[in-house]
Structure 1
Amino acid sequence: MDERTVGIGLVLASAVGFGTVGIFGTLAGDVGLSISTILVFRFAIATLALWGLLVLQGRRRLLGGRPLGWAAVLGIGGYGGMSGFYFWGLEYLTAGLVAIVLFTFPAIVVVVTIATNPERINRTLVAALCLSLGGVALIVGADPAGADPRGVLIMLGSAICYAGYMLGSERVLESVEPQVLTAHVLPASGLLFLGIGVVGGTFGVPAATDATAWGMLVALALLSTAIPICLLYAGLSKIGASRASIISTAEPAVAVVLGAAVLEEPVSTTTVLGGALVVVGVILIQRRG
């Protein structure tokens, strides 16, 4: 296969991996694990895996000074905030709907762009923004019982955090490699939820004999986090950020399909149409942004 085909395959596999976050998160919650416990171990195990890979590659670069400070901010307020809202949203919405609403984050980036750099806005981006937000409105308005408005609001909070993470990362990545930045962001996110869990009394270590709980945590950390991140970066080097971003829009579709297949979540026509509008909006944004 040529390099472009390999790159597309890598990014698509990455999207499939990220699409399983809601599945493993729901299953982990079903066996009694709290959000703080799930996220602490998710980020701890994923961090070990990423740093292990960096060491094997001879890229043991520890950040310091301002880059380290930015990594902490991005980990706590960006990726950590997104993840916390994401798993909270799973308590109100299906895994598929959670993924769909999260993918409004490019539209939020457009809103920020309109406010800060209006000269970069064009009709296509405005239309894309309307499509993405219209897709969410369609899902909520047509089936408010299935799409709990509280869950939608929570997930919009997740999308806002993720948009902030993407905007902030863009500046840091001018001087820091993506893998190295991620290897610092993830432990910062984990420390956030360790603090929340300890203060709130919700953090706990599963029993060593609880194979189901540990299996869910390891799967979430590796199959849904560390491996997809590595696949994404590998694909980026072959096909570029623009194509990779468009292919990554397969993630919400994967979440909807897996939610139906594994968790027996209902999939309505409205969900499919609303999700399609969101994805089309994202694709337009990536092509014209």
Structure 2
Amino acid sequence: MENKSAWLLIAIGASLWGVIGVFVTYLYEVGFTPLEVVAVRVLTASIFMVPYVLMKNRQLFKIKVKDSRYFIGTGIISIVLFNWCLFSSMRESSISIAFILLYTAPAFVTILSRIFFKEALTARKLTALLVTLIGCSLVIGIFSSSTASISLYGLTLGLGSGFFYALYSIFGKAALSKYDSLTVTVYTFLFATVAIVPFSGLGSKLSTLTDLKVLGLVVGLGFLSTMLPFIFYTKGLQYVESSRASIIATIEPVVASVVGFFIFNETLSTWQYLGMIMVISSVIIVQESKKQKANRPQQFDQAGA
């Protein structure tokens, strides 16, 4: 796969993540809590993923027991804790502040990738990172929420969401050095499901889940905004550096803002439009020139294996 195709897969995956607000908002309206939505998300994704992988190639389920550590990393440490921190941060502070802190993830990825994968910390990468962080801050409306206060606990939760979000790229990259992207994705959700569903209180919503409208929202959340984007993102991660993938994926808040405008009639400010342009520009900045691509070794970095 060429790098441009990998970049496209990551961008599509991030765009599908960007529409998650539609399903989550309506699930909140029918009485679901953030923890229950997270449980629904990983459980439904698992239900879709397992048959798909079985039909495609059941050999993909074969893993070594000792390698479960990778999926504890992607599924429990990253996916479960990232969602918990994000939703808790929203409650403790505000949605705007929570998402600003969430998108510190590329900074964490860049630093961790340098430490674990020895990825180069280039001027291009740092420039794209800076533009992305500023752009994301504008997109989520930092200026309109400038008077909002945040406690130390809220700040810790917000940074935690960014850190755990970043860890998916780190753990995922290590797992991809040994396993197919589908193997990584399906075990990520299986481990997450086992970890969160028994403690989520989802059992109290069984009667609600029989409603066709709610069932449609659950399917949309689990398939369109979870299974597909993680397959695309993880596949693209096989051919793109973790830090670059994480920066490209920050197109997500741009899509989320567009969805909010057309579906929920949320008006965007001039600053938010400027932020969208900056985030999109960072995707262009992070791409290598043909000369750089020719000089780079044709393999992806691996964790010490």
The TM-score with structure 1 as length reference comes to 0.77
Distance in 2 (CA, whole Å) between partners of 1:178 and 1:64 is: 16
CA shift for structure 1 position 261: 1.6
2:47 maps to 48
Partner of 2:56: 57
Partner residue, 2:296? none
Shift of 1:101: 5.8
Name the structure 1 match of 2:76: 76
Is 1:183 matched with 2:183? no
1:19 equivalent in alignment to 2:22: no
Aligned to 2:109: 109
1:124 equivalent in structure 2: 124
1:10-67 deviation per Cα after TM superposition (whole angstroms, max 9, x unaligned) = 6654343221112211221121111222222221121121111111112342323221
Q: Displacement, 1:246?
A: 7.3
* 1:77 Cα deviation from its structure 2 partner: 0.8
Mapped contact 1:22–1:90 kept (Cα < 8 A): no
- Shift in CA distance, 247/125, structure 1 to aligned 2, threshold 3 Å: closer
Asked whether the 8 Å contact 2:82–2:162 carries over to 1, the reply is: yes
**Aligned mates of 2:95, 2:99 — CA distance in 1:** 10
More deviation, 177-186/15-24: 15-24
- Cα displacement string for residues 179-220 of structure 1 (whole angstroms, at most 9, x for unaligned residues): 10111111222233224424xxx7632315423322221110
Amino acid at match of 1:35: P
Residue 197 (structure 1) aligned with residue 210 (structure 2):
no
Q: Distance in 2 between matches of 1:113 and 1:6?
A: 22
Which residue of 2 is the match for residue 39 of structure 1?
Answer: 38
Going from structure 1 to structure 2, the CA distance change for 1:133 and 1:16 (only over 3 Å counts) comes to closer
d(CA) in 2 for partners of 1:9, 1:135: 20
* Equivalences, count: 280
**Structure 2 residue ranges without an equivalent (≥5):** 293-300
1:166 matches 2:169: yes
Q: Deviations over 1:71-99 (max 9, x none)?
A: 123211112222223444565327xx876
Separation in structure 1 between the aligned mates of residue 195 and residue 100 of structure 2, nearest angstrom: 25
1:50 maps to a residue whose letter is M
Query: Aligned partners of 2:20, 2:116: CA distance in 1, in Å?
Result: 33
Q: CA RMSD in A?
A: 3.8
Paired residue for 1:218?
Answer: 219
Determine the C-alpha separation between the residues in 1 that align with 2:116 and 2:237: 28
What does residue 254 of structure 1 align with? 255
Amino acid at match of 1:254: V
Kindly report which structure 2 residues correspond to 1:135-150, keeping only aligned pairs within 5 A, or say none: 135-136=135-136, 142-144=143-145
Amino acid of the structure 2 residue aligned with 1:55: L
Task: Tell me if structure 2 keeps the 8 A contact 1:37–1:203.
Answer: no
Give 2:226's aligned amino acid: T
In the superposition, relative to structure 1, how do residues 70 and 234 fare at CA in structure 2: closer, same or farther (>3 Å)? closer
Deviation at 1:270, TM superposition (A): 2.1
Give the aligned partner of residue 267 of structure 1.
268
The amino acid across from 1:122 in the alignment is T
Measured in 2, the distance between the counterparts of 1:100 and 1:258 equals: 18
Contact 1:140–1:149 at 8 Å: present in 2 too?
Answer: no
CA contact (8 A) 1:99 1:251 kept: no
Distance in 1 (alpha carbons) for counterparts of 2:253 and 2:221: 17
- CA distance in structure 2 between the partners assigned to 1:83 and 1:193 by the alignment: 11
Task: Provide the identity percentage.
Answer: 25
TM-score, length of structure 2 as denominator length: 0.73
- Residues 89-147 of structure 1, C-alpha deviation per residue, up to 9 Å, x if partnerless? 565327xx876764442222223356678893233333333333334555665222597
The Cα offsets for residues 148-183 of structure 1, whole Å up to 9 and x where unpaired, read as 757887444322111112112211210011110111
